[in-house]
């Protein structure tokens, strides 16, 4: 699987565009992915903040991560528009019967596949050679387009998890 994302990120968006990443508790099916794509497009096409259109982007990456971005150079994303984003994510969560808000479940790239691992099992996974300091970690805490492109998929040793491995 190709894990390069740059070609799929809007080049015209400002590097400081806001980013939200929602990691699914499982891989979406193909039919779910098509439905999610439709929901994401509809949301971005109608996304407004204080009456202004939000320059938004959303995509499903690797069948498991919903990435939403807002270029705030024209309109900032306020509380109500953020609420509408989270309502849309909750809609997808209910539709697909997945968890998109579990921050204790971490994602890693192992054998060219996204593998999920509970935070509490990191030391066990390292001691049993399931992951290592060079294993790629999906850092879902990135907050801008620049961070998404440069710091979303990084070796564990370059992340906040380095102290745990």
Chain segment 25-50, per-residue pLDDT in tens? 999 999 999 999 999 999 999 999 88
Mean pLDDT of the chain: 94
Residues 6+ apart with CB under 8 A from 20: 67, 68, 69, 85
Task: Record the tokens describing residue 141, joined without a space.
Answer: 């805490």
**Global confidence as pTM:** 0.94
Is the pLDDT at 102 greater than 70, yes or no? yes
Residues 6+ apart with CB under 8 A from 51: none
In whole angstroms, give the CA distance from residue 105 to residue 93. 16
pLDDT category of residue 1 using cuts at 50, 70 and 90: low
The pLDDT, as a whole number, for residue 74 is 84
Is the pLDDT at 163 greater than 90, yes or no? no
Task: Record the tokens describing residue 111, joined without a space.
Answer: 């054998």
Which helix (DSSP H) or strand (DSSP E) does residue 89 occupy? Answer: helix 79-96
Is the pLDDT at 114 greater than 90, yes or no? yes
- Strand, coil or helix: 75: coil
Residue 123: how many other CB atoms lie within 10 Å: 10
């Amino acid at each position: 699987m190709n894990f390069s994302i740059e070609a799929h990120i809007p080049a015209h968006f400002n590097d400081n565009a806001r980013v939200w990443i929602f990691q699914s508790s499982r891989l979406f099916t193909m039919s779910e992915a098509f439905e999610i794509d439709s929901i994401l497009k509809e949301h971005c096409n109608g996304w407004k903040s204080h009456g202004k259109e939000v320059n938004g982007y959303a995509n499903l990456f690797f069948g498991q991560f919903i990435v939403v971005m807002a270029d705030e150079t024209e309109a900032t994303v306020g509380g109500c528009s953020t609420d509408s984003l989270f309502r849309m994510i909750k809609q997808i969560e209910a539709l697909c019967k997945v968890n998109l808000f579990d921050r204790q479940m971490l994602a890693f790239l192992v054998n060219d596949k996204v593998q999920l691992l509970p935070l509490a099992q990191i030391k066990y996974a390292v001691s049993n050679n399931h992951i290592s300091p060079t294993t790629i970690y999906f850092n879902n805490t990135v907050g801008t387009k620049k961070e998404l492109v440069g710091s979303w998929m990084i070796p564990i040793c370059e992340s906040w998890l380095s102290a745990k491995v």
